[in-house]
Every structure is written in C-alpha cells, then in structure tokens.
Amino acid sequence: MKNPFRGIAEAFILTVGITPPTPERERVATIFISTMLIGAVLFALGVGVFLLRRII
C-alpha cells in the first residue's frame, strides 16, 4: 500500500513546480511537506476559531 503522505508530497511538488528530491532525500521531503501543509491547515483553523470567538 502506498503511503498517503507520499502522494500528498508528490502532488505538492508537481503543483508548485519545485525540483523533486533525490531518492535518498524523498522520505525527509515527504515528512517536511506533509508537516508544513498540516501546520498551515491547523493554523488557518486556529485563526478562524479565534476570529469567530471574537465576533460572536
């Protein structure tokens, strides 16, 4: 079974147009990209909750 995070990282690399990592660095790149994307989503949710609490 293919790692779902690898698919996310590959899609990000192709969408953004960055140079794909070497096979030795692919695992590190997958972890970095997945962590960065998950962090961005959590940050956006946190800001959204903060703003909703301030408005309501």
pLDDT band at 1 (very low <50, low <70, confident <90, very high): low
- Phi then psi for 19, rounded to 5 degrees? -70, 125
Q: Which residues, 6 or more positions from 34, have their beta carbon under 8 angstroms from its beta carbon?
A: 5, 8, 9
Backbone conformation region of residue 17, classed left if phi is above 0, alpha if psi is from -120 to 50, else beta? left
Amino acid at 32: F
Q: What is the pLDDT of residues 19-53, one digit of tens each?
A: 999 999 999 999 999 999 999 999 999 999 999 99
